[in-house]
Amino acid sequence: MSNFEATSISLDEIRSTAREMYDGGWRLVTQTAVDRGDKRFELLYHYDKDLVEKHFRVSFTQGTIVPSISDIYFAALLVENENRDLFGLEYDGLVLDFNRSFYLEEAGDPMTAPFCKISTFTKPKVEV
């Protein structure tokens, strides 16, 4: 059975929490964006100190601008740009904004997954 626990925080608390964690000597492991459907998203912040993990959860709807923590934790730079590419999330205050060309062609259309649909198919059997 999982003993995963994440503390729920509001959008306004993201930066103050990150600052508190940074000052307390916690390392940012990563962020996880979760598409909960119906235009609802969750963003999890994972921190670590001496191999102990701490998680924070923020819930919001599509189109909400999320405050970036990349000026506090430079390591957040990559994951926030990745979330911009793959989940269409918007961040305010990114220290280096790739403008949705982090993984994607600079000249191409921005792929705003999950709106970009991935599909798999099975080839029909060909009778010989």
How many alpha carbons lie under 13 Å from residue 47 in its C-beta half-sphere?
Answer: 21
44 contacts other proteins (rule: CB under 8 A): yes
Q: Using an 8 Å Cβ cutoff, are 32 and 44 in contact? A: yes
94 contacts other proteins (rule: CB under 8 A): no
Number of H helices, E strands in the chain: 2, 6
Piece of 12-20, 49-57, 59-67 that binds other proteins (CB under 8 A)? 49-57
Minimum distance from CB of 127 to other proteins (Å)?
28
Minimum distance from CB of 92 to other proteins (Å)?
20
How is residue 99 written in tokens?
Answer: 């403008």
**Residue located via tokens 């000249």:** 107
Q: Which of these, 104, 102, 105, lies nearest to 94 by C-alpha position? A: 102
Q: What is the DSSP letter of 45?
A: E
**In whole angstroms, what is the distance from residue 60 CA to residue 10 CA?**
9
104 contacts other proteins (rule: CB under 8 A): yes
Site for other proteins in 53-92 (CB under 8 A): 53, 55, 73-75, 77-79, 86
Minimum distance from CB of 32 to other proteins (Å)?
4
Whichever of 15 and 55 has its CB closer to other proteins, that residue is: 55
**Residue located via tokens 């000052």:** 23
Which residues in this chain contact other proteins in the complex, by CB under 8 A?
Answer: 1-2, 4, 22, 25, 27-30, 32, 34-35, 44, 46, 50-51, 53, 55, 73-75, 77-79, 86, 96, 101-105, 113, 118, 120
